[in-house]
Amino acid sequence: MSSSAFEMTVPVLPGDIDEQNHVNNTVYLRWVQDVATAHWREIASPDAQAAIGWVVLRHEIDYKSPATLDDEIVLRTWVGKATRLTFERFTEIRGNNDRQLFSQARTLWCPIDVKTGRPTRVSAEVRARFST
* Average pLDDT per 10 consecutive residues for the chain, totaling 132 residues: 84 97 97 97 94 97 96 96 91 96 98 97 84 62
CA distance 38 to 7: 9
The answer to the question of residue 1 being in a domain is: no
Q: Which domain holds residue 87?
A: 6-129
Kindly give, in sequence order, each residue whose CB lies less than 8 Å from that of residue 110, ignoring residues fewer than 6 positions away: 54, 55, 56, 57, 85, 86, 87, 119
The answer to the question of residue 76 being in a domain is: yes
CATH of the domain at 124: 3.10.129.10
pLDDT of residue 15: 97
The answer to the question of residue 122 being in a domain is: yes
Its pTM stands at 0.92
pLDDT of residue 2: 55
The answer to the question of residue 63 being in a domain is: yes
Dihedral (Cα; 124, 82, 103, 92), 10-degree rounding: -40
> Which DSSP state fits 129?
H
CA distance 86 to 80: 10
Tell me how many domains the chain contains: 1
